[in-house]
Amino acid sequence: MIIKDKKSQPVVFAVSDSIGETAELVIRAAMVQFNSDKVDIRKVPYVTDNEYVEDIIEEAKNTADCVIVCTIILPEVRQHLLSLAEQNQIPIVDLMGPMMDTFSKIIEVKPHLQPGLVHRIDEDYFKKIEAIEFAVQYDDGKDPRGLSRADVVLIGVSRTSKTPLAMFLAHKRLKVANLRLVPEVAPPDELFHLPPKTIIGLTISPEKLFDIRQERLKALGLSTEATYAQLSRIMEEIEYADMIMEKIGCPKIDVSNKAVEEIATSILEIIRKGEV
């Protein structure tokens, strides 16, 4: 028997093999008819393989009062999702399948079966949106699954500009995940299975990091005596991060006294040289 966590409101998974915009719009249009916004809409974009489908089903199985709304074009992935949902008695609404099947009967042209084709009118714009959403979803190691889906993975200790860099590069249409390295938490196994050329290590001088963290604590109104900003702790973190980077064998960039734009330019140069 599956024991589900109790939620304060129903959960609707908006599952798509593109950005999930259509599914979310339909969900919100339906909820207006109930004069209610008391649902937790969880967008799950870029679902293009069966493994990801199985992860979604596992999460839904442990979520009380949930439904899946999907706009998946890829037949194999859509069918896998529908089958698993039925097997696990999870309510699911397939928005695209019936429409595609109906159109196939009246239109003498085979469908392209390409996710996100509706957005190709301004492909560059939507690539940027996709990259920005990716950077947000996989910021600070929130979900290790993002590491294998990223064009670039940034690793380094706290306050080495990983998040600003990820967002900057997202505007260049690059999918960037970032991961903070701390001695007490081992990096996810996924990191060590990536090609080293897809990873960029961000290093910094201990003195510069000390100043940055001191200023950060002051801005938050916290004591500058915190372990986070002690030089001995900083040295320990940097040594650990260097060890991980050496183990991976990835390119490294020293971010000391460099602006985000300058660091991003260095990363783009590495990419252009074919190192990433």
Which CATH number is 252's domain given? 3.40.50
Is residue 201 within 8 A of residue 241, CB to CB? The reply is yes
Is residue 108 within 8 A of residue 42, CB to CB? The reply is no
Provide the mean pLDDT of the chain. 88
- Note whether 82 and 130 are same-domain residues: no
For the residues 13-36, what does the mean pLDDT come to? Answer: 86
**Minimum mean pLDDT among 4-8, 116-120, 158-162, 255-259: which range?**
4-8
- Note whether 78 and 187 are same-domain residues: no
Q: Mark which of 85, 115, 145 sits at the end of a domain.
A: 115
Angle 13-16-17 (CA atoms, 0-180°, nearest 5)?
Answer: 150
What percent of the chain lies above the pLDDT cut of 70? 91
What percent of the chain lies above the pLDDT cut of 90? 60
**What is residue 5's predicted lDDT score, i.e. its pLDDT?**
47
Taking the model in full, what pTM does it have? 0.57
- Note whether 45 and 157 are same-domain residues: no
Q: Per the structure, how many domains does the chain have?
A: 2
Q: Is residue 3 part of a domain?
A: no
- Binding site per annotation, positions for ADP: 156-163
- Binding site per annotation, positions: 156-163
With H, G, I as helix, E, B as strand and everything else as coil, classify residue 182: strand
User: Which residue range is the domain that position 165 belongs to?
Assistant: 122-272
